[in-house]
Amino acid sequence: MGLRGKFNISLFGVFLIGLVLLSVFSWQIIRDNARTEVINEAQLITAEAIAVRGYTVNEIQPLLAEQSKSRFLPHTIPAFAATSTQRDFSKTFPNYSYKEAALNPTNPGHRASPEEAAIIEEFRKDLTKKTIITTRETPAGTVLSVSRPMQITNGACLSCHSVPSAAPASMIDVYGPANGFGWTLNEVIGAQIVTVPMHVALNRANSIFVTFIGGVVLIFAVVMVLLNILLHFAVIRPIRAMSDMAVKVSTGEAGDAEFVVSGKDEISSLAQSFNRLKRSLSSAMKMLET
Ligand code: HEC
């Protein structure tokens, strides 16, 4: 195999191994980044919902305390405020959702689906667990859900969620006595589940990956072409000429022709030495002839 073949095969081999390793590691980093980005989005929405809950308890409830005595106003209920505002939010961002899923909800619309119930059961088993992240496929693409446990840490919650007789009668009129009762202090009764689409971040990750790897391949191709041109003019061509000349010298057809030496690299110093060798050889031959 010629010098060019060996050079190209070894360079290509190194590049291929490097490209495979680079692809695996960079894809992992880019995909992890996309996932982190989506989790951050979900955490932002959760924080927003918690803020709405707090605002409702601290600002709205005291304001409407008088009116609530005569007529039950769900607007003063943190769960109602958080889910209503998030429903409006989902009008602008349709694939984003927020749910306060409960095993035994006051509002049947908040009943946990089997998958959500499994998440709640996990929180109930391990009270130290504060977040569960899950992904699932939907017709609209992969979605990621970040869930947080909803634990009854405040005894005041039980006025409406322990027994129907303790709850405001006006609330029973609206919601009935069957649902959302029997909750106990420190019990995990549900989970705040924020679901965020992943396809936007995943598509972005894909295009970053393709651009990055495409760039690396392009740079390699340009480097290969440049190195091959350099190899041809600086090494292969002069060596081939020297080899032809050596053949001619050995068969006595060389005459007085010499290499034109240009530059100061190793090849031109070899050409210089070759010229000297040829000169001394021909003068030695002349001496032999005389
Ligand atoms: C004044 C009565 C009242 C109090 C006090 C109250 N809730 Fe509720 N809660 C409700 C009502 C009514 C709903 C249903 C709201 C709706 O229709 O969205 C509800 C809904 C919820 C939900 C959503 C699941 C479901 O049952 O529909 C959660 C979770 C919840 N409450 C937790 C709490 C916690 C935690 C506290 C204490 C910080 C609390 N609640 C205090 C009346 C109350």
The 10s digit of each residue's pLDDT in 79-111 is 999 999 999 999 999 889 999 999 999 999 999
pLDDT in tens, 212-271: 999 999 999 999 999 999 999 988 998 898 888 888 888 877 777 777 777 788 888 888
Residue with token string 């059961």:
121
Which of 64, 98, 106 is the pocket-test mutation for ligand 1 (most atoms within 8 Å of CB)? 106
Other CB atoms within 10 A of residue 104 CB: 16
Give the DSSP H or E segment for 17.
Answer: helix 3-55
Ligand 1 cavity residues, CB under 6 Å: 74, 77, 79-80, 83, 100, 102, 105-107, 110, 150, 152, 154, 156-157, 159-161, 171, 175, 180, 190
Residue 210 has pLDDT above 80, yes or no: yes
Q: Whose CA is nearest to atom 25 of ligand 1?
A: 105
| Rounded distance between C-alpha atoms, residue 121 and residue 111, angstroms | 14
Average of pLDDT values for 129-145? 93
* Average pLDDT over the chain, rounded to an integer: 92
Report which protein residue has its CA nearest ligand 1's atom 18.
Answer: 80
| Measured distance CA(154)–CA(165) in Å, rounded | 19
